[in-house]
Amino acid sequence: MLETGWNIPGFSLPDQTGREMSFADLTGPKGLILYAYPKDNTPGCSLEAGDFRDRLEDFHRLGFNVAGLSRDSVKSHAGFDAKYGLGFPLLSDPDRVLLEALGAWAEKKMYGKTAMGVVRSTFVFDSKGFLFNSYPNVKAKGHAEKVLADLRGV
Kindly list the catalytic residues.
45
Provide the residue count of the chain: 154
* Collapsed DSSP state (helix, strand, coil) of residue 53: helix
Cα-Cα-Cα-Cα torsion 23, 27, 29, 34, nearest 10 degrees, comes to: -120
Please report which helix (H) or strand (E) contains residue 25, including its range. helix 23-26
Q: In sequence order, which residues have a C-beta less than 8 Å from that of residue 116 and are 6 or more positions away?
A: 105, 106, 107, 108
Asked if 138 contacts 121 with a C-beta cutoff of 8 angstroms, the reply is: yes
Distance (Å, rounded) from C-alpha 115 to C-alpha 127? 34
* Collapsed DSSP state (helix, strand, coil) of residue 120: coil
